[in-house]
Structure 1
Amino acid sequence: MKKLITVLIILVCNTISAKVTPNSLFQDNMVLQRHQPIAVFGKATSEKTITVVFKTKIYSAKVKNGEWKVFFDESEAGGPFTLIIKGENEVVLSNILVGEVWLCSGQSNMEMPVIGNKGQPINGSNLAILRSENSQIRMFKVGKKMASEPLDACKGEWSIANPETVLHYSATAYFFGKMLQETLNIPIGLINSSWGGTPAEAWTPKDIIDSEFKDFKGWNTDDSKPQKNPAVLYNGMIHPLIPFTFRGTIWYQGEANKTYHQSYTQLFSSMIKSWRTNWNQGEFPFYFVQIAPLGWGGDNQAFLREAQLKTMLAVPNTGMAVTLDIGEQFNIHPAEKQKVGERLALWALAKDYGYKSIQFSGPVYKSMRIKGNIIAIEFDYAPNGLTTFNKELNGFKVAGADKIFHDAEAKLLKGGKLIVSSDKVEQPIAVRYGWQDWISGSLYNTAGLPASSFRTDNWDN
C-alpha cells in the first residue's frame, strides 16, 4: 500500500511539473495585435518543448528556466480564432480577435469608470452605456498590485463591450477605443492598468529611479500610501505585461506630481523611454493627457502642464491631448471624459492610421513679435488660424522687465492672428496664457481643439 501511494505521488508530481500555463493576458475573448510579430508566452516547470497552434500554423518553443515564448507571424485583423497551447496538458483559448491593442495607464482620471464616481458624473454616460454592445471592443483591467520586485503575471480578465462590462471600465480608455473601432472598423483591445492618486515614479522602473534620480529627495515617505513609492506599480502592474504585443500607450496622470513639477519632464520622459526599452517594440506611440485646470491646488499645476508640454516636444512619437477648456473648478475629475478619449484618438488616427487630413493637436505656442506695447503671438497646429467659438477670450497676462504680470487684453485679428497688450505695461517682454489656478480655456484652432497653457519666459515663479 505504501509503495502504491509513493507511485501515485510521483505520477502526480510529474504531471504538475509538466503543466504549461500561458501568461494571464492570454485568455478567451482577447485581442492580439495585427501587423506585428505577436508575442505569446507563459510558464512551464519542466525543460520541455511546447507547441502553439494559431490559424492552422504550428509554432514550437523550448522551455527555459520554466518560461517559454513564441512569436506568431504578422496577421491581418479578423477573427474569431482559436489558440491552442500544448505541453503535457492542452490549453484552448477561443473567440480571439486580431486588431489594434492599446495599453491605457495613469492615475484616477484614467481609472474613473464610464458610470462615474459617487457625486462625480461622466457626461453622456447613460447613453454610452446603453449603446455599448460591441463584440469588436475587448477590455482587460489589470488588478491593482504593488511589488518590490518585477512580477511576471497579473490578475484580470478580458471582457466584451456591453452595458454590464463597460459600466465599470475606464471612461477615457473606452471612449478612445470606441472612436478607433468605429473609424477603423476592426477589433480593438484595451488594457487598463491604472491606480488613483499615484505619481509617475511609481510607474517607473527602479533602475531608472536609482540611476537618474539618486539625489532626488521628493519621493513619497507616507507609509500609509505605499502605492506611491517608486517602481512599485511598474513592478506589479506594467512589468507583468511585457512583452505582450500592442500598438501604443495612452496615459492620463500628473496631478500627483504637481508639488515637485521641476523634475517631471525628466521623470516622465525617462519613464516613457524605459517602457519602450523594456518592451523592445521600438518607439511605440505614447499619447497622454495634459492635466486640466482646477480651482484649488496652486499654480504648480500650470508648471506641471508646462512639463507635460515639454515632454511632448522632446520625446519622439508622443502627443498631448489638451483639456484647458473642460476642467472643473472644484472637481479634479472632469466629466468630459468622452472628449478626452476622442482627443487622444485623433492623435492615433492621424499619426498611426493614415488620417492625414485631420487636425489632432490644439495650438502650441511657437513665437512672438513685440512692437511697442503690443505682442503678436504665433502658434503651431493652427493652420486655419485661431478662434474662440464665441467664448470670451481671457487668461492672458503680460510683464515687463520688472517681472510683474498684469491682466492683458487679447484680440483675434482677421485671419485668426492673436495680439496681446496691457495699458499697465508699456514695454512688455513676456506673455503667459492659462497660468493661474483656474481658467476655462477659450482659445482654439478651427478644428475645436484647445490651446495649451504656455509662457514665453523661464522665470522661477
Structure 2
Amino acid sequence: MNRSLALLPLLAATLNAAVLDPVFSSGMVLQRDQPLRLSGSGNPGETLEVRLGEQSATTEVDEHGRWKTVLSAFPAGGPYQLTAGDSTAQDVWIGDVWLCSGQSNMQMGVREIESARECLAARPTQVRLLTLPRGGADSPRYEGPAEWVAPDATTLADFSAVAWSFGLALREDPTLAHVPIGLVNASFGGTAVEAWLASQPEVPKEQISGSMFDMAPTVLYNGMIHPITPLTVKGALWYQGESNSGHPEAYAELLQQMMRDWRRAWHQPEMPFFIIQLPAFSGRINGLDFSWLREAQAKACQQTDHAWLVVTYDTTDGFDLHPRQKREIGRRTALLARREVLGESLPSQAPQLESVHTEASQLHLTFDQPLVVSKGFHPNGFILAGKDGEFHHAKAVLHGDEVILESDAVNDPQWVRFAWGPIPEANLTNSAGIPPVPFRTDSLPPDSMVFQPLPTSYQLETPRYRLETGALGAVTSFQVQGKPFIASGPGGGTWIPTPFGPRNLSSTIVDGPRRLILSESTISLTLTGDAATSLWIVANDGNDPIDFHIALDPAVSVDLKGTTAKLTRDGTSVTIEGISQRDGESTLIVKVPGHARQEIRWIP
C-alpha cells in the first residue's frame, strides 16, 4: 500500500484536531475576576480537556465543529499555561482586557503623536498588545491571525496611541500596579459605524454613511470584532464618528445599536463603553461641522447605561483631522475607567449642564460640579439667542457651579449654546482639567455657517518667483514675473484628497530663513530652495500611498513628458520635475508611496 495514502486519514485528523480560537494564544491576557469563557474548533463529536493552571474542564465539539467551556474566575496573576486539545498557549496572564476600536484617530500609531518619544520609551510591566489585522468579511468568522506581543519600540510604533496612552494612565492607579493589562487594537481608518455593526443599520437608507473601500454594513464586525468576542473584556473604548459626521441625525441610534450588538456578542449586557467625542476640527462633511456629531455622541451616552463620554474639543487647535495630541485623550479615558469601572474615587466626569432658568435679561445655568476658568479671567464659549434664533456672544460670570449669562444684543434670551461649532473657544474646566460637555438648549436645524480662526500664512519672495502658503497648510500661490501658475480660490492650491476633504497640513515649523515645514501626523511638505529654484519635498511616513495634487491656473498650458512638466502662461515658462501624472487639463499629481518621499522641483 502506498505509504502516503496510508497517512492521509491521520493527516486529516491532525488538521481538524481540537484547537483554541486564534485569540487565545501565547502572551495573552485573560479577564480577571470573571468566569473564563474559552472556545475553539475541532472535529464534531471530539472530546477534549481544557486546562489553565490547576483548573480543568472537559467539553465536546458540537456538530458545527465548535466547542466552548467556562472555567471559574481567576484573580490577577500569572504566567500560566493554557492547553486545549492539541493547542497550547504559554505565558498567559490574568488581568484586565480593554478593547480599543474606531477609525483613523484610534488607529493612529504611537510614533505619530506629539509625545511619541516619551510614550515609546515607557515600559510598564505585564502589559500585552494585540492588533487585529485590518479587513472585513461577508460573514462572522473566528479564524484569523492574532499575535499578542510585549511593548517595545518596534511593537509600539504603529500600535494605537490612544490605547497605549490609556494603558499608561491606568498604571498611575496604585491598585493596578501589579494587574496585567491587555490592550486590543481593532481599528480601521476611514470607516463608518455601520461597518462595525453586527446587524443591519436600524435607520433610513438615506441616512446611512459609507466607509472607504466601499465597505458594506457589518463587514468589519464580521472580520475584526467577531474573532475576539470569545475573549471577555473589562470594557471598550470607541473613537469614531468622522465618517458619519455628514449624517449626525442617525448617529446616536447607530452608536447605541452597535453597543447593543457588541454586548450581545460578548454575553456582557453591562459591558462598559467609553465614547471618545470628536475633537475640534475646522472641516465639514456634507456642509456640517463636528459639533452636530458630538451632540449625537453625547445623546447616545445619555440614553445608554454604562456608557460614558470622553470630552476632547480642547485638546487640539482644530486644524488637523488627525491631531497628534493623543496622550491627554488616553488620560481622560483612563480617569473615567478608574472611577466608573474600577471604583477609584477621583474627578473624571466632564461637567454637565443640570438646569437653566431666566431672571429678567439673564440666563442662570447650573452645572453638576464646580467650574474654574482655565485661561484668562472670564468664562467664554457661551452664545445666546432670542426668539429670532440669531446667536450672540454672551458675557459670563462664574460662581462655583453656576454661570450667569447676558448679552446686550439679546433682551429676552431663549436659548444658549456652549462650546458649539467646529473649533469651540471655551475656557471652563473642572478640577481635573476636563471641560464641560458641549450643549445647546435649542432644537434648531443644523447650521454650520460660522466665522472661525485660521492658522498663519507664509510668503517667500525671490527675484524670480514668489510662493505663498494658505491657512490650512497648502501652497496657494506660485507666481513668476507676477503671473500666477497655481489656481487660487476653492479647489485651487495644493491638496491631498481624503473622504473628509483635503488633508490639512496645518502644523507649521519655520526651520530656517528659507525652509518651511507643513505637516499633519504622518505627512509633511517641506518648502525650500534658493533664488533660482523652489524645492518641495513631500514625505509620507504612513503605510498607505498618497496623491499630492497641484491645481494649476486655467490659463496655464501644460506639456508633460515623463516626470517633467513644462508650464507656460503668457510667454512665461516654468519647469516642474517629479510629476507622476496629469488629471484633466489643470491638475498635476505626485504619487508618494508609504514610508517614502518625493521631490518636486520648480525651475522658473
Q: Structure 2: which 5+ residue stretches go unaligned?
A: 447-604
Alpha-carbon offset, residue 416 of structure 1: 4.7
Find the counterpart in structure 2 of residue 315 from structure 1.
304
Find the counterpart in structure 2 of residue 412 from structure 1.
398
- Residues 381 and 418, structure 2, Cα contact 8 Å, conserved in 1: yes
Q: Does 1:289 find its partner at 2:276? A: yes
Q: Does 1:377 find its partner at 2:368? A: no
Distance verdict in 2 for CA 1:162–1:370, change over 3 Å: same
Counterpart CA distance in 2 for 1:376 and 1:439 is 21
Find the counterpart in structure 2 of residue 442 from structure 1.
427
C-alpha deviations, 1:276-297, integer Å up to 9, x for none?
A: 1221122111111110111221
- Residues 137 and 178, structure 1, Cα contact 8 Å, conserved in 2: no
Find the counterpart in structure 2 of residue 119 from structure 1.
none
Q: Name the structure with the higher strand share.
A: 2
Alpha-carbon offset, residue 99 of structure 1: 0.3
Counterpart CA distance in 1 for 2:165 and 2:362 is 42
Select between 402-411 and 102-111 the one with higher mean Cα deviation: 402-411
What is the total number of aligned residue pairs between the two structures? 439
Alpha-carbon offset, residue 338 of structure 1: 1.1
Alpha-carbon offset, residue 174 of structure 1: 0.8
Partner secondary structure for residue 105 of structure 2: helix
Q: Percent identity?
A: 34
Counterpart CA distance in 2 for 1:402 and 1:194 is 44
Find the counterpart in structure 1 of residue 67 from structure 2.
68
Find the counterpart in structure 2 of residue 195 from structure 1.
188
Partner secondary structure for residue 177 of structure 1: helix
Q: 2:109 aligns with which of 107, 113, 119?
A: 113
> Cα RMSD (Å) of the superposition?
1.7
C-alpha deviations, 1:290-327, integer Å up to 9, x for none?
A: 10111221544111111111111110001011012113
Larger radius of gyration: 2
Q: 1:103 aligns with which of 99, 111, 129?
A: 99
Q: Which has the higher contact order (CA 8 A, sep 6+)?
A: 1
Counterpart CA distance in 2 for 1:347 and 1:325 is 17
C-alpha deviations, 1:190-236, integer Å up to 9, x for none?
A: 11100011111111123x42xx23x32233568x6223x21111111
C-alpha deviations, 1:226-254, integer Å up to 9, x for none?
A: 23x21111111111112211111111111
Find the counterpart in structure 2 of residue 268 from structure 1.
255
TM-score of the pair, normalised by structure 1: 0.91
Find the counterpart in structure 1 of residue 197 from structure 2.
204
Q: 2:156 aligns with which of 130, 143, 166?
A: 166
Find the counterpart in structure 1 of residue 78 from structure 2.
79
Q: 1:135 aligns with which of 125, 137, 143?
A: 125
Alpha-carbon offset, residue 127 of structure 1: 1.4
Find the counterpart in structure 2 of residue 33 from structure 1.
31
Find the counterpart in structure 2 of residue 23 from structure 1.
21
- Residues 137 and 181, structure 1, Cα contact 8 Å, conserved in 2: no
Distance verdict in 2 for CA 1:335–1:55, change over 3 Å: same
- Residues 395 and 439, structure 1, Cα contact 8 Å, conserved in 2: yes
Partner secondary structure for residue 171 of structure 2: helix
Partner secondary structure for residue 367 of structure 1: strand
Alpha-carbon offset, residue 449 of structure 1: 0.8
Matched residue type, 2:107: E
- Residues 181 and 188, structure 1, Cα contact 8 Å, conserved in 2: no
Find the counterpart in structure 2 of residue 56 from structure 1.
54
Select between 432-441 and 73-82 the one with higher mean Cα deviation: 432-441
Find the counterpart in structure 1 of residue 135 from structure 2.
145
Counterpart CA distance in 2 for 1:220 and 1:294 is 19
Alpha-carbon offset, residue 411 of structure 1: 2.3
Matched residue type, 1:296: G
Counterpart CA distance in 1 for 2:81 and 2:303 is 42
Matched residue type, 2:181: I
Counterpart CA distance in 2 for 1:309 and 1:102 is 22
Partner secondary structure for residue 134 of structure 1: coil
C-alpha deviations, 1:417-437, integer Å up to 9, x for none?
A: 211111011001100112222
Alpha-carbon offset, residue 140 of structure 1: 0.2
Partner secondary structure for residue 244 of structure 2: helix
Counterpart CA distance in 2 for 1:81 and 1:440 is 51
Q: Structure 1: which 5+ residue stretches go unaligned?
A: 117-121
Matched residue type, 1:8: L
Matched residue type, 1:111: Q
- Residues 134 and 162, structure 1, Cα contact 8 Å, conserved in 2: no
Matched residue type, 1:127: E
Distance verdict in 2 for CA 1:11–1:153, change over 3 Å: closer
* Correspondence list, 1:319-330, <5 A: 319-330=308-319
Distance verdict in 2 for CA 1:139–1:377, change over 3 Å: same
TM-score of the pair, normalised by structure 2: 0.70
Find the counterpart in structure 1 of residue 562 from structure 2.
none
- Residues 153 and 241, structure 1, Cα contact 8 Å, conserved in 2: no
- Residues 209 and 247, structure 2, Cα contact 8 Å, conserved in 1: no
- Residues 396 and 405, structure 2, Cα contact 8 Å, conserved in 1: yes
Q: Does 1:342 find its partner at 2:331? A: yes
Matched residue type, 1:98: I
